[in-house]
């Protein structure tokens, strides 16, 4: 493969960032389709109980994948800085350390998920009526951990060197494979929720395999050579220093969401299905946020590596602004279209009612979520990973759990769960705004 990745250290800032972020946005769209297609087909073919079983496992999956995503982003910052600085030797070491970490993490994740899924679902107060199907879905999903672990590692490498197009192509292809397998396993072979899990695993393994083949053929220092896969202690230390706070942040927040899910589960199967359907729709609303987070982290990392300090500052401002505007536009659309979108998953009136209530509570506050995430991405790209971790863990974990622990017994209302998210998004955004404006997070232009 010829070198297709180009550094983001020159040219028009807005063009470079949008051209990098757009394939990520489209790729994330198809990534979201993985989960959404599962839920649509499960909800329509198998009913509300099966839908509740599939969606209730989301918080646990996000907790583990969130840690991996954080570590990958930290590794991406290190790789992007070496790429921007033209340090080919250390870029090569970083790439192979990332791959070694992915292989080790994939093994741990497989064992953890397969062995502990039943017990964790019980801790989450999953109703017995959906327990068997939820365990089946999770255990099959985690048996294919190597697929989505290595896919995330490989995509982290490609994004760090400025290649966001190839992951898009592979996701589009594997998403169609996932759709075909869902219809085959569930609609034709009647395999139940296990079929949806198998379809997702096969599709993710396919995506990882395509990325691996691409990196094996790369004619650059980020080419993956099997014989060079090993841990470099110095590089691993840098990755952990930047990536562990982000990974811990994601996992702790996701753990808080597991606790939130347990509160949702206590309201019964119908609320679980309605809330779960909303979370699939919400995933689409987060796409611009996620896309510009990745673009911002790569942009900041590469330009700091190249000592382009003023360019870094201008790019950060642009990325934050566009992320906020796009997220709010999608939030407005979801607010008005919520009844139709929820009904696509499950047309039961009560399921639709609970899903719409959640959507119309949260959707207009997406701009706050975007601001917190994009500012966090800028700081992480600059190597300032501890402050975003502290802010998000405090507001999105501690405050959420304390709020629900107090309010649920007092109100006995699902509305407390609905409002805890806009509340904590507001608090974290205020903290990030103050820090971003006041702190000396970036070297002075020289």
Each residue's pLDDT tens digit, 363-398: 999 999 999 989 988 988 887 878 888 898 899 889
Considering the domain boundaries, does residue 445 fall inside one?
no
Q: Report d(CA 342, CA 347) in Å as an integer.
A: 7
Q: Taking the CB of residue 349, how many other CB atoms lie within 10 A of it?
A: 10
Segment (H or E) for 220: none
- Enclosing H/E stretch for 139: helix 128-143
pLDDT of 186 reads 86
Token code pair at residue 333: 């659309």
- 3 assigned to some structural domain: no
Q: What is the pLDDT of residue 420?
A: 92
pTM: 0.73
Does position 57 have pLDDT exceeding 70, yes or no?
A: no
The better pLDDT of the pair 89, 71 is held by: 89
pLDDT given for residue 393 in this prediction: 86
The stretch 250-278 carries a mean pLDDT of 80
Domain count, the chain: 1
Give the residue from 402, 401, 372 showing the smallest Cα distance to 389: 372
Average pLDDT, integer, range 223-243: 90
Q: How confident is the model at residue 3 (pLDDT cuts 50, 70, 90)?
A: very low
Does residue 148 lie in a domain region?
yes
Alpha helices in 86-127 (DSSP H): 88-123
Flag whether 444 is in a domain: no
Residue 98 burial (C-beta neighbours within 10 Å; 0-12, 13-18, 19+): buried
- Alpha carbons 387 and 231: distance in angstroms, whole number: 27
In a 13 Å sphere around the CA of 281, the CA atoms on its Cβ side amount to 32
pLDDT in tens, 100-142: 999 999 999 899 888 888 888 887 777 787 888 888 988 998 9
pLDDT band at 38; cut points 50, 70, 90: low
Pairwise CA distance, residues 134 & 195, whole Å: 12
Give 301's pLDDT tier (boundaries 50, 70, 90): confident
With respect to residue 398, please indicate whether it lies within any of the assigned structural domains: yes
> Any idea which residue has 């997220």 for tokens?
327
Question: In this structure, is residue 203 part of a structural domain?
Answer: yes
Residue 276's pLDDT is what? 81
Q: What is residue 227's DSSP assignment?
A: G
DSSP-based three-state secondary structure for 331: helix
Helix pair angle (233-265, 88-123), 10° resolution: 20
Give pLDDT, residue 56.
66
Q: What is the DSSP letter of 226?
A: G
pLDDT > 50? residue 446: no
Mean pLDDT of 149-166: 89
Q: Are 142 and 62 in contact (CB under 8 A)?
A: no
- Is 2 a member of any domain? no
- Domain region containing 141: 13-438
Contacts of 220 (CB under 8 A, 6+ apart): 3, 5, 88, 161
Is the pLDDT score of 444 beyond 60?
Answer: no
Measured on CA atoms in the order 287, 293, 298, 303, is the torsion positive or negative?
positive
- CB-CB contact of 201 with 195 (8 Å): no
**By the 8 A CB rule, do 130 and 271 touch?**
no
């Amino acid at each position: 493969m010829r070198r297709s990745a180009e550094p983001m250290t020159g040219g028009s800032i807005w063009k470079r960032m949008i051209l990098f972020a757009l394939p990520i946005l489209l790729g994330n769209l198809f990534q979201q389709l993985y989960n959404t297609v599962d839920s649509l087909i499960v909800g329509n073919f198998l009913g509300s109980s099966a839908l509740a079983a599939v969606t209730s496992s989301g918080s646990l999956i996000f907790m583990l994948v969130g840690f991996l995503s954080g570590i990958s982003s930290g590794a991406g910052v290190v790789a992007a800085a070496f790429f921007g600085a033209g340090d080919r030797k250390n870029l090569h070491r970083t790439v192979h350390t990332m791959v070694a970490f992915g292989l080790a993490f994939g093994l741990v994740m497989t064992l953890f998920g397969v062995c502990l899924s039943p017990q964790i679902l019980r801790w989450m107060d999953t109703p017995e009526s959906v327990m068997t199907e939820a365990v089946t879905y999770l255990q099959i999903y985690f048996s294919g951990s190597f697929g989505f672990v290595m896919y995330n590692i490989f995509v982290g490498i490609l994004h760090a060197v400025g290649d966001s197009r190839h992951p898009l192509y592979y996701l589009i292809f594997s998403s169609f494979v996932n759709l075909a397998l869902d219809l085959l396993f569930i609609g034709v072979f009647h395999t139940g929720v296990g079929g949806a899990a198998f379809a997702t695993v096969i599709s993710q393994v396919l995506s990882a395999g395509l990325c691996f083949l691409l990196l094996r053929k790369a004619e650059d220092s980020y080419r993956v050579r099997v014989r060079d896969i090993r841990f470099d202690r110095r590089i691993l230390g840098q990755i952990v220093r930047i990536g562990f706070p982000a990974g811990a942040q994601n996992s702790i927040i996701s753990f808080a969401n597991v606790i939130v899910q347990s509160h949702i589960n206590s309201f019964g199967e119908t609320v679980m299905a309605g809330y779960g359907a909303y979370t699939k729709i919400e995933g689409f609303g987060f796409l611009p946020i996620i896309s510009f987070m990745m673009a911002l982290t790569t942009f900041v990392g590469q330009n700091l590596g190249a000592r382009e300090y003023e360019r870094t500052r201008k790019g950060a401002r642009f990325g934050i602004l566009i992320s906020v505007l796009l997220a709010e536009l999608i939030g407005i659309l979801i607010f008005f279209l919520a009844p139709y979108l929820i009904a696509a998953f499950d047309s039961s009136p009560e399921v639709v009612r609970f899903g719409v209530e959640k959507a119309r509570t949260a959707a207009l506050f997406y701009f706050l979520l975007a601001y917190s995430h994009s500012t966090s991405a800028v700081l992480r790209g600059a190597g300032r990973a501890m402050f975003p971790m502290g802010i998000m863990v405090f507001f999105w974990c501690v405050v959420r759990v304390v709020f629900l622990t107090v309010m649920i017994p007092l109100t006995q209302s699902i509305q407390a769960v609905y409002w805890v998210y806009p509340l904590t998004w507001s608090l974290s955004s205020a903290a990030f705004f103050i820090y971003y404006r006041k702190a000396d997070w970036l070297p002075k232009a020289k």
